[in-house]
Amino acid sequence: MMSAAKSFAKKKFGYQRSKNLTMTGQKLHFWKAILSSTARKMKPTEKIVKRAVTLDIDFKGAKTLNKCQVRKQMTAARQDLWKLQKNATQEQVDWLEKNARNIARAEGELNWKKNE
């Protein structure tokens, strides 16, 4: 019974993620894909190119890196992700509070600063 209630609550309210955490995870996946294509000596796919554009990563520069350099970039991206994951809960709370203030301001609530 509790399992059904939990799954319903998750579907109803969703899971809020911070944009920074999501973007950092996508950067790690980008560097993993570049490493895979570099190791196999294959041309990067169109999906990798689109992800580079979305993440504002210089694709031409990333394409010319060798395996060792790509691994360094991937390690740096993983470290960034770990740092953000440590503070993820606080960032989510801050993001939700900011959204609540913006909604209150948009609705014309006079005391929208009361949540600060």
Q: Is residue 44 part of a domain?
A: yes
Mean pLDDT within 64-85: 90
Asked if residue 3 is part of any domain, the answer here is no
Structurally, the chain folds into a number of domains equal to 1
- Token code pair at residue 29: 């996946």
Judged by average pLDDT, the poorest of 17-21, 42-46, 82-86 is 17-21
Q: Is residue 5 part of a domain?
A: no
Which residues have a Cβ under 8 Å from the Cβ of 30 and sit 6 or more positions away? Answer: 48, 51, 52, 55, 57, 62, 77
Mean pLDDT value across residues 21-38: 89
Is the pLDDT at 113 greater than 70? The verdict is no
Mean pLDDT over 40-58 rounds to 89
Taking 80 as the threshold, does the pLDDT of residue 72 lie above it?
yes
pLDDT greater than 80 at residue 25: yes
pLDDT at 32: 93
Q: Examine residue 25 and state whether it is found in any structural domain, yes or no.
A: yes
What is the span of the domain harbouring residue 98?
Answer: 17-115
